[in-house]
Amino acid sequence: MLNLLAEEYLGFICRHLPGLEGVLLRRLLYRRLFKRLGGDSLIYAGVFLSHTYNIEAGNNLSINSGAMIDGRGGISIGDGVMIGPYSVIISSTHQIMSMGV
């Protein structure tokens, strides 16, 4: 619960900070909030991340402006991945029930 509050409020504050300072602050914040965030991550301004406690990312991750990632169902991102601008990645888990005929 505390992670979600930190993600919501601190993410809102850091989300649109420009320049190198913004990149560094986002890296520090999401290093704490992600399940795992490898080294040399680059998260540009305007990226919307939610449920980061279920996101694992390798080294040299780059997420471009406007991307939206929701890790509710768990996401695993490898090394050297570049996520383009305005990309949307959403994971969720749903229990599927079948009805017998």
SS (H, E, C) 39-86: CCCEECCCCEEECHHHEEECCCCEECCCCEEECCCCEEECCCCEECCC
The reply to whether 61 falls in a domain is yes
| Number of domains composing the chain | 1
DSSP-derived 3-state class of residue 90: strand
Structural domain contains residue 83: yes
For residue 100, name the pLDDT band (cuts at 50, 70, 90).
low
Residue 44 has pLDDT above 90, yes or no: yes
10 Å CB burial of residue 100 (0-12, 13-18, 19+) is exposed
Residue 95 in domain = no
Residue 97 within any structural domain of the chain: no
Task: State which residues form the domain around 37.
Answer: 2-90
Q: What is the pLDDT of residue 82?
A: 97
Q: Give a yes or no: residue 98 inside a domain.
A: no
Compute the distance between CA of residue 58 and CA of residue 41 in angstroms, rounded to an integer: 8
Answer yes or no: is 60 within a domain: yes
Residue 99 lies in a domain: no
pLDDT tens profile 61-81? 999 999 999 999 999 999 999
Per-residue pLDDT at 101:
54
- Region 89-93: mean pLDDT is 85
Tell me, yes or no, whether 9 lies in a domain. yes
